[in-house]
Amino acid sequence: MNYEEMFFDYNKEPGKFLKKDIALGDGKPLVSIVTSYYNSRKYIKQTLNCVLNQTFPFWEWIIVNDGSTELDTDEFLNSIAKLDNRIKIYKKQNEGLAKGRDYAILKSTTQYILPLDADDLIIETYIETAYWSLHTNKEASWAFSNSVGFGKYIYLYNPKFDSEKMKTENLLTATALIRKEQIQQLCGYGVAKRYVNEDWHLWLRMLAKGYFPVQMNFYGFWYRRCNVSLLTDINDEKKEENNMRLQELKVQADKINKIVSAKIYPNEQEKYEEKSLEWKEKDFNKKLKQNRILYILPWLRTDENLYKTISNINTHNTQITVITIKPSQYIYRQKIEEYAEVFDLTTFIDNSYWKSFIKYVINTRKIQTIYVSNELEEISNYLKENFTQIKQIKYLYKDNDEILKQQEKKYKKSKKLYNRIIRKIKNLSKKLHL
């Protein structure tokens, strides 16, 4: 058990509530969210909130009714579509998740595909960060984040990408931003037999072609772990058939004849060369809040004054954005995300684009006031030179060392107890085995 696992708050699921102010675009999507819907009414409302709460408004959501047997499914999905004209509903006979996704992809109008199952969740900045991560890494084929398991099992999942391990273990989740052209080149998800892990099957085929991903370093995707799954039933009842499906995955894995390296953030090998983002100043938000504030800080740690300030000024009429430029543990970011949109630049984009991304945030949010840390002199000078019309305030940023020490002490004590319990379990297992 590491520090983040000890203090991560699993109760802060994205999408529990719908924001009062939804970001609106200009009607031209840049990302296509695709969902194959089958008997998921119990959970889709929270997924819907996650989509509507996205900070990046340039999406379309294509939901395919894959022969759902729930009562009044058509009426229910049409009621969802009426909430936002970016949501499109289609219907087809039941053929399974993979074919449902492929049908949605055929109906999509953008070059980027984001598969999102009807019971899973994404944080509010997921699409925006994934879009820029993939868009600024032109040679990469998909971008994914670390994930959170919730429901029956809770855990944090952040393995470093390894193409060799991918041959025997699926290290990735389905909800990644993928270039549509390359999905179509590989004939989509439906090439895999029904009930095969279609996501893993696609990743293996991509790796066999030499395609590589970008690994963003934050917990952006929440994977719901239900008590019972269809795949579990099949594994229990049809083991021989399941072994055949595993064999099919092995056939794809055996086609990977060379190591494929991912672009992993933070990118420690990066050489600084200032670059500009490709952005055509699209109309980002037609419902701007009255007060729009930007904080630019080195990192997020234990500054209780920052937390209190942001939580106090967060109102219906105030939009708060926080940008950091040094790695922060997600547990500190998670607290601030209750009241502000947060971008840790080290987790998704090269430092060559940092100044340009700050400019993009200022322009798209129409920021009125910027608080910049006293430690960030270079960025402060950049802001003074380029945004003279915006009020800028130096922010004295200081960690609360006492709180940090208390947390570390609590962590060490808990970890010691955890290790003691694990040792007892192992010893008991040995005795029972003997």
Question: Domains in the chain, please, with CATH?
Answer: 3-264 (3.90.550.10), 291-395 (3.40.50.20)
Amino acid 31 reads V
Better-predicted residue by pLDDT, 268 or 420: 268
d(CA 364, CA 352): 20
Residue 357 has pLDDT above 80, yes or no: yes
Residue entry with tokens 């003074």: 384
Average confidence (pLDDT) over 27-40: 95
Please state whether the peptide bond connecting residue 266 to the residue before it is cis, i.e. omega within 30 degrees of 0.
yes
Residue 415 has pLDDT above 90, yes or no: no
Average confidence (pLDDT) over 297-312: 86
Note the pLDDT of residue 32.
98
Residue 425 CB partners (closer than 8 Å, separation 6+): none
Q: Give 15's pLDDT tier (boundaries 50, 70, 90).
A: very high
Q: Give 230's pLDDT tier (boundaries 50, 70, 90).
A: very low
Residue 78 has pLDDT above 70, yes or no: yes
Note the pLDDT of residue 315.
74
Q: What's the pTM value of the predicted model, to 2 decimals?
A: 0.89
**Per-residue model confidence as pLDDT tens digits over 103-158:** 999 999 999 999 999 999 999 999 999 999 999 999 999 999 999 999 999 999 99
Note the pLDDT of residue 405.
55
Residue 409 has pLDDT above 70, yes or no: no
- DSSP state letter for 345: G
Residue 135 CB partners (closer than 8 Å, separation 6+): 277, 278
φ and ψ at residue 380, rounded to 5 degrees: -60, -45
Question: In this structure, are residues 293 and 69 in contact, taking their beta carbons and an 8 Å threshold?
Answer: no
Note the pLDDT of residue 355.
96
- Cross-strand bridge partners of residue 263: 214
Kindly report the number of other CB atoms within 10 A of residue 26's CB atom: 11
Give me the chain's average pLDDT, please. Answer: 88
Residue 231 has pLDDT above 50, yes or no: no
Residue 371 has pLDDT above 50, yes or no: yes
Percentage of the residues of the chain whose pLDDT score is greater than 70: 86
Residue 402 has pLDDT above 70, yes or no: no
Q: Give 233's pLDDT tier (boundaries 50, 70, 90).
A: very low
Residue entry with tokens 């960690």: 399
CA angle at residue 310 from 50 to 308, to 5 degrees?
120
Q: What stretch of H or E contains 185?
A: helix 180-185
d(CA 343, CA 329): 13
Q: Tell me the pairing of strands 177-179 and 341-344.
A: unpaired
Q: Give 407's pLDDT tier (boundaries 50, 70, 90).
A: low
Each as own residue / partner, the long-range contacts of residues 234-243 (CB below 8 Å, 24 or more positions apart, any chain) are: 234/195
Residue 412 has pLDDT above 70, yes or no: no
**Tokens encoding 26:** 């200009």
Q: How far is CA 22 from the centre of its chain?
A: 19
Average confidence (pLDDT) over 240-247: 76
What is the C-alpha radius of gyration for the chain, rounded to an integer number of angstroms? 23
Q: Give 408's pLDDT tier (boundaries 50, 70, 90).
A: low
End-to-end distance of the chain based on CA atoms, in angstroms? 28
3-state secondary structure of 321: strand
